Amino acid sequence: MSARCRIIFDSSKCATIGLCEMVAPDFFSIPDDGEGKTIVLHETADTSRRAELEEAADKCPTQSIQIVDA
C-alpha cells in the first residue's frame, strides 16, 4: 500500500480565486453553476502528488488548504 496525504479544506476562508484549480485541477474544481464554491474532488492522494498539492496550498491567498499525512 502506498503512502497517502490528505487535503484539509476550509471553505469558510475560500475566496474562490481558483489558483488551486489552476495548479491541481484533478483535485480542485470551481463549477460553472453560478454558486462560486470551490469543490475538493478527492480528499486523499498518493504522496507522489503531494508536491502539486502543496503548491496549490501555498498559492492559496486565503490559506484555505492544508496538506497533511493521511
Domain boundaries, the chain: 4-69
Residue 58 in 3-state DSSP? Answer: helix
Share of the chain above pLDDT 90, in %: 86
Query: For 39, which DSSP code?
Result: E
Q: Which residues pair with 8 in a beta bridge?
A: 66
CB atoms near residue 19 (< 10 Å):
18
CA distance to 9, 32, 33, 52, per residue, from 5 (Å): 13, 28, 29, 12
pLDDT tens track for 1-32? 579 999 999 999 999 999 999 999 999 999 88
Please state which CATH class domain 4-69 belongs to.
alpha beta
pLDDT at residue 37, as a whole number: 86
